[in-house]
A and B are shown apart, each in its own frame.
Chain A
Amino acid sequence: MDGADDTRSFPGARPPDRTGPVDAGGLRLAVNEWGEPDAPVLALVHGGFDFSRTFDVFAPMLADGGWRVVAWDARGHGDSEHAHFYSWPADVRDHFCAISALADEPIVLLGHSKGGGQLLDLLDARPGLARAFVNLDGLPSQFSAPDINDRERRRMRRADLSAALDRRRRRNELRRRPDTIEGLAERRAPMNPRLSREWLEYLVTVGARRDDEGWRWKIDPVLHLGGFGPWRPQWSMEHLAALDLPFLGVLSGVQDDPMGWKSRRDDVAPYLPPGGRLEYFDDIGHFLHIEQPRFIADLVLEFLEPLR
C-alpha cells in the first residue's frame, strides 16, 4: 500500500471544527462539532453502521445556518471505543450521557435511521432533554417482509442465532478485512447504492484507518447487519405519539433502498404528536441528508428557524 494516495475530497465536505471525547458510563465516545461554540446546540445522531463523519457535508450546512452542530460516534462505531456488549438500550443511554454532557438546557435533536428511532425512546424517558426533534427516516412501521411465511421466518431467525453465536466465539480473532480505498468503497456500495462512488471513497478516508495491509473500517468487527431479539415497531411509534415538542419527521419513499425503513406516510400519520409535521419524498433514498444535503438542510433550518 506504500505510495497509495490516501486522501479524498468531496464537494462541500468539511472536517469538524472541534473534536473531543465524552464519557458514557466508562466508555469513551468520540464527539465532533461544527459551527460557533456559543451558537444554539443541534445534536445529530447517526444510524447503524454509520458514524458521525457521515455528516461532513450536512453538518456544515446546518452550522452555517447558525447552529453549533454536535455529533458523536455510537459505541463500536467510528472513533468511539469498542464495547463488550451492544444493545439498543445501551445506545440510548450513551446518547443520554452525550446529550447531558453537552448542555444543561433542552437542545434540538436530529436522528437519522436507527439514531432517530433511538431518540424516540430516549425522549419518552427523558422528555426534558429536547426542545425540538427532527427524525430522518427513523420511524419504524414494518416488522418483517410480508411475503415470508411463518415457518420460513423461524428458520431464518434460527440461522441468524447460530451465526451470531459462531461470530461471538471467534470474536477475539475478528478483524475488518483490509482493502484499498476503492475496494472498501466498492464493498460498502451495496448498502448505499444511491450514493456516489466519490462519496463512498471519501467516507473510507474518515471512517476507516490504514495499516500495513491496507484500509479497514473502524467499526467493531463483531457488529454485523441484521440480528434478532424481541421488537415491535409500534413500541417505538407509541413514543412518537407521546412527544410534546416541535416535531419534524422526514420519510424516504424509495422502497427498494436496502437500508431503508420503508415506512409510508399513512403508517406514521396516526402517531404524529399534536402539531407534528411529516414530509414524504418518494424520490430520495434512506440517506436523505447525504443524497440531497442542501435540500434537507434547508428543510431542517426552515423548521428550526423559530427556535434559533
Chain B
Amino acid sequence: MSRRVEHVTNGRLRLAVHVLAEGEGVPLLLLHGLGDRTGAERPAWSAAWPGPVLGLDFTGHGSSDRPVGGGYTPENLMADVDAVLAVHGPVCIVGRGLGAWVALLIAGARPQLVHGVVLADGTGLAGGGPEPPSPHVTSFDGPAEDRPDPYALLELARDVRPPDYAVDFVRFAVEESEREAPIVVSARIRPPWLEAVADAVGVVDLPLEEAVAHLARTAT
C-alpha cells in the first residue's frame, strides 16, 4: 500500500511530509539524517507512539524541492520544521543525525509547539565540529534535480556546533516547556555538542524505543 504524502511550503519551495501512520492526537515527526530521506515505512522503534507518525524530507533531500545556489544551514532548516508546525500544530520530534541537531534548535525556538524531542544517532550528527573545520570553498555544476543536493551535503557537514550554543537551546526549551524532561538523548555516538546537551539540567538519557515511550507518556 502506498503511503500518503502531504506537502508544506517554505517560501517558494514545496516540502514532502510522508504520513507513515495515520491517527489522532499529537503527531510524532521524524527528521532524517544528512543525505538521507524519510524511510519507506514507520520505524519499529516508534511502535509506542499512539498517534500519527510523519516524516519530513528536508529541503534538497528526498521528495522535497531543491533551492538554487545552496546556502544550507541548520538554522535555515529550522524553517522546514516550522512549516510543518504551522500546519499540524504541536508535535514531538525524533531527529536522527543532522535531524537531531535541527530538532534541538527548533525545540529551543518553538518550545510551545515542540512538546518533546529525542536526539538519536544518524548521519551528520557531528556537523563540522565545535570549531570551524579547515576552510573549503567550491561550487557545483551538477543537474538541478540531484537529490540530495550536493550543496546540502557540503554545507551541512561543515556547520559549526559549539557545545555552549547547543546548551542555550536546551535552556530555551526546558525553561519554557510545561513538560517533564522534554529533551531525551538516545544517541550512542556523542559529539561535543551532544555530550554537553546530555549533561544539561532537564535532559534525560534513554534508549530510542524507551525515549519514544517516554514522550508518549509525558508529551502527548
Query: What interface size band does chain B fall in?
Result: 35 or more
Known: A25-B139, A168-B10. Contact between A87 and B72, CB under 8 A?
yes
Most buried by A among B71, B75, B161, B168: B71
B78 contacts partner chain A, Cβ-Cβ < 8 Å: yes
* Contact indicator A124/B135 (Cβ below 8 Å): yes
Chain A residues, CB < 8 A from B144: 26
B86 contacts partner chain A, Cβ-Cβ < 8 Å: yes
* Contact indicator B13/A84 (Cβ below 8 Å): yes
* Contact indicator A84/B137 (Cβ below 8 Å): no
* Contact indicator A230/B11 (Cβ below 8 Å): no
A82-105 residues at the B interface, CB under 8 angstroms: 83-87, 89-90, 92-94, 96-97
Chain A residues, CB < 8 A from B12: 84, 172
Of the candidate stretches B36-44, B62-70, B117-125, the one touching chain A is B62-70
B180 contacts partner chain A, Cβ-Cβ < 8 Å: no
Q: How far is the CA of A162 from the CA of B13 in the complex (A)?
A: 21
Known: A161-B108, A165-B79, A230-B162. Contact between A27 and B69, CB under 8 A?
yes
* Contact indicator B135/A125 (Cβ below 8 Å): yes
Partner of A24, one of B13, B59, B69, B73: B69
Name the residue of chain A whose CB is nearest to the CB of B79: A168
Most buried by B among A85, A92, A222, A232: A85
Name the residue of chain B whose CB is nearest to the CB of A161: B109
Q: How far is the CB of A13 from chain B (nearest CB, A)?
A: 31
Chain B residues, CB < 8 A from A93: 70, 137-139
Q: How far is the CA of A86 from the CA of B76 in the complex (A)?
A: 8
A187 contacts partner chain B, Cβ-Cβ < 8 Å: no
Chain A residues, CB < 8 A from B9: 172
Partner of B69, one of A83, A168, A228: A83
B155 contacts partner chain A, Cβ-Cβ < 8 Å: yes
Q: How far is the CA of A90 from the CA of B70 in the complex (A)?
A: 7
Chain B residues, CB < 8 A from A232: 162
* Contact indicator B172/A96 (Cβ below 8 Å): no
Q: How far is the CA of A84 from the CA of B59 in the complex (A)?
A: 10
B131 contacts partner chain A, Cβ-Cβ < 8 Å: yes
B112-166 residues at the A interface, CB under 8 angstroms: 131-132, 135-140, 144, 151, 155, 158-162, 165
Query: What interface size band does chain A fall in?
Result: 35 or more
Chain B residues, CB < 8 A from A86: 71, 76
B179 contacts partner chain A, Cβ-Cβ < 8 Å: no
Q: How far is the CB of B28 from chain A (nearest CB, A)?
A: 21
Q: How far is the CB of A252 from chain B (nearest CB, A)?
A: 26
A235 contacts partner chain B, Cβ-Cβ < 8 Å: yes
A160-184 residues at the B interface, CB under 8 angstroms: 161-162, 165, 168-169, 171-172
Known: A86-B71, A228-B75. Contact between A165 and B110, CB under 8 A?
yes
* Contact indicator B69/A157 (Cβ below 8 Å): no
Most buried by A among B137, B139, B144: B137
Q: How far is the CA of A84 from the CA of B60 in the complex (A)?
A: 11
Q: How far is the CA of A92 from the CA of B144 in the complex (A)?
A: 21
Chain A residues, CB < 8 A from B172: 154, 158, 161
Q: How far is the CA of A235 from the CA of B158 in the complex (A)?
A: 14
Q: How far is the CA of A223 from the CA of B132 in the complex (A)?
A: 24
A sample of 6 inter-chain contacts (CB < 8 A) reads A26-B69, A83-B69, A84-B68, A85-B76, A97-B139, A161-B108
Could you list which residues of chain A lie within 8 angstroms of chain B, going by C-beta atoms? Answer: 24-27, 75, 81, 83-87, 89-90, 92-94, 96-97, 121-122, 124-126, 154, 157-158, 161-162, 165, 168-169, 171-172, 222, 228-232, 235, 239
Q: Taking A169-B83, A172-B9, A230-B161 as given, write out 16 further A-B residue pairs in contact, using a Cβ cutoff of 8 Å, ordered by the A residue number.
A: A25-B151, A27-B68, A27-B69, A83-B71, A85-B72, A86-B76, A89-B71, A93-B137, A125-B135, A161-B78, A162-B110, A165-B79, A169-B79, A229-B73, A235-B131, A235-B132
